Amino acid sequence: MAEAIQQLVLDTLDKFGTIHDTRTLVLPGYTDPAANHDSQIIILGALNSLSSRDMISYTTHETVSHVLTPEGAQIAVQGSHEARVWQALPHKGDGAPMAPKQLEERVGSETAKIGQGRAFKNKWIAKEGDGLVRLAPSIEDNTQVELREVDSTGTLKAGEKALAEMRKRKLIVQRKGQWFTVKKGPAFSTSIAKPETDLTIDMLATGSWKTSTYKKYNFEAEGLVTNGGALHPLLKVREEFRNIFLEMGFAEMPTSSFVESGFWCFDALFVPQQHPAREVQDTFYLSDPAESLPPPADYYERVSKVHEHGGYGSTGYRAPWSDAESRKLLLRTHTTASSASMLYKLAAKCRGEGEDKSARSAAAHGSGAQAKEGDDGFKPAKLFSIDRVFRNETMDATHLAEFHQVEGVVADRGLTLADLIGFMRVFFTKMGIENLRFKPAYNPYTEPSLEIFAFHPQLRKWVEVGNSGMFRPEMLEPMGFPKDVHVHGWGISLERPTMIRYGINNIRTLVGHKVSLESVENSPAVRF
């Protein structure tokens, strides 16, 4: 059909030079001109195809035409309600008048109701006793005739008044229409042979390239979608956190050491050696190698001393110190192990040692770049990390033996709990979380400690989003930090906001072999 119409357009142009009004075309398979809306839409398709090849050009004219409503269409086929009523009745004097009830059964209650009124008005029918009879010997169903006219021409010769009446009766509605004037284009030809899209060896060899028509390049075409790689949801959320940290002037800590010693994971943080978290249920210990290299001797001395006997204003745990416990190798249970070793490096100058390069370069990216170093060698720092940790937990829908922690520490003189809380508000606001609550908690290495809760508008409840606190002097002072240097830190899980964001309720669909690649590819960038 599409090609036949294109051919019709070309042939007509060939014969008459222009097509002034496409409503005069008689489409293949029809006897009447293509005056109605649908036909013009079909013609438009053919015109677009031809004009894209420069074979024709056309201009558009807007019209307002009319189409039938479902009721109008029914009348066009079956006749008006009044005609159907007249039809159903006997002629006057020709059999018994019809009772209204019977009429209703014959033509349906709606047609009986509407039709009677109009038929009386037209003097088509009359009452006789209790019944109804035909009055006019014959009728002309104008409504039906006019609706048929509208259906095929989109308008009425009778004019706007008649159209308005039909619209009022909700038998027709207006519809914007178009028709077209068509002229020959620069590449006009009566042949609609498909234009070439490629120059082939064959065309060069036979010389047919000289006479061929070519399809124009469409530089606006969008091209095929390429299937590139996609970030896993966890990595997308990690990127978001990372950007927030960088925006706030934090530097990223190196966290490549998944294996740590009991010393860095616990002792340096003033976690008692008898702490339940250190027991085999919670921590994965290595069997080969099972023992770490010794930590820096002086520092080790100070740490073991504060545990066993106290110091820096603390009574310590006063429990026997075990070197074996300290040297055990394990999979780190929190990234605070990395924070501890980073803070230790940061305090190198305060201990009178040379500045540690890795700490300096990390701090140089962050606030440390602007912050001034004091006489005691201390330089403020803001550090963060986002990496994997391991816990020997019973696995269920929300727990795996490994997960990611987002962690930050801020070291500066005279920091207070108010700084920590204020900082948290800014940090979480950047993630779109403004409604925060803080609850006193316990960590062996922070005092005070706060759990952070956020109101989740979708889940309509308070969810725990993080754990935080002011690091204890028992941890900071053995490292060599001056007394007035306070450090606050916090940790949050990466999986939890990701699961909430993506509506995932089983962690196994987020991590592991059950992850759906499709959802990874199609998930948009995220916000908690």
Where on the chain is the footprint of ligand PHE (CB under 6 A)?
A: 334, 336, 407, 443, 446, 467-469, 489-491
The burial class, CB within 10 Å (0-12 / 13-18 / 19+), for 40 is buried
User: Minimum Å distance from CB 354 to ligand PHE?
Assistant: 28
**Would the CA dihedral through 217, 223, 224, 227 be positive or negative?**
positive
Residue nearer to ligand PHE on the CB measure, 72 or 469: 469
Residue 383's nearest CA partner among 422, 444, 333, 338 is: 338
Residue nearer to ligand PHE on the CB measure, 163 or 409: 409
User: Minimum Å distance from CB 269 to ligand PHE?
Assistant: 8
Nearest position to ligand PHE, beta carbon: 491
Instruction: Show Cβ contacts of residue 290 under 8 Å, excluding neighbours closer than 6 positions.
Output: 328, 329
Contact of 439 with 454, CB cutoff 8 Å: no
Residue nearer to ligand PHE on the CB measure, 326 or 338: 338
Contact of 130 with 102, CB cutoff 8 Å: no
User: Minimum Å distance from CB 336 to ligand PHE?
Assistant: 4
Q: How far apart are CA 308 and CA 319, in angstroms?
A: 5
Residue nearer to ligand PHE on the CB measure, 177 or 469: 469
- Residue at 436: amino acid letter: L
User: Minimum Å distance from CB 489 to ligand PHE?
Assistant: 3
Strands ordered across the beta sheet of 251-252: 251-252, 381-390, 402-413, 485-493, 461-471, 446-456, 436-443
User: Minimum Å distance from CB 448 to ligand PHE?
Assistant: 10
Instruction: Show Cβ contacts of residue 509 under 8 Å, excluding neighbours closer than 6 positions.
Output: 515, 516
Phi, psi values for residue 393, rounded to 5°? -105, 160
Residue nearer to ligand PHE on the CB measure, 304 or 385: 385
Instruction: Show Cβ contacts of residue 30 under 8 Å, excluding neighbours closer than 6 positions.
Output: none
User: Minimum Å distance from CB 309 to ligand PHE?
Assistant: 25
Instruction: Show Cβ contacts of residue 50 under 8 Å, excluding neighbours closer than 6 positions.
Output: 6, 9, 10, 56, 185, 192
User: Minimum Å distance from CB 445 to ligand PHE?
Assistant: 7
User: Minimum Å distance from CB 446 to ligand PHE?
Assistant: 5
SS3 454: strand
Residue nearer to ligand PHE on the CB measure, 132 or 454: 454
Residue nearer to ligand PHE on the CB measure, 127 or 399: 399
Residue nearer to ligand PHE on the CB measure, 37 or 242: 242
Residue nearer to ligand PHE on the CB measure, 179 or 263: 263
The burial class, CB within 10 Å (0-12 / 13-18 / 19+), for 187 is middle
Contact of 445 with 337, CB cutoff 8 Å: no
User: Minimum Å distance from CB 422 to ligand PHE?
Assistant: 16
User: Minimum Å distance from CB 398 to ligand PHE?
Assistant: 15
User: Minimum Å distance from CB 490 to ligand PHE?
Assistant: 5
Contact of 423 with 384, CB cutoff 8 Å: no
Question: What does the radius of gyration of the chain's CA atoms come to, in whole angstroms?
Answer: 43
Other Cβ atoms closer than 10 A to 376: 16
Residue nearer to ligand PHE on the CB measure, 270 or 300: 270
Give helix 142-153 / helix 81-88 axis angle, nearest 10°: 140
Question: Token digits for 388?
Answer: 């994997």
Residue nearer to ligand PHE on the CB measure, 367 or 446: 446
Q: What is the DSSP letter of 88?
A: H
Residue nearer to ligand PHE on the CB measure, 278 or 334: 334
Q: What is the DSSP letter of 31?
A: S
SS3 267: helix
Question: Token digits for 341?
Answer: 């070793």
User: Minimum Å distance from CB 395 to ligand PHE?
Assistant: 18
Q: How far apart are CA 526 and CA 506, in angstroms?
A: 18
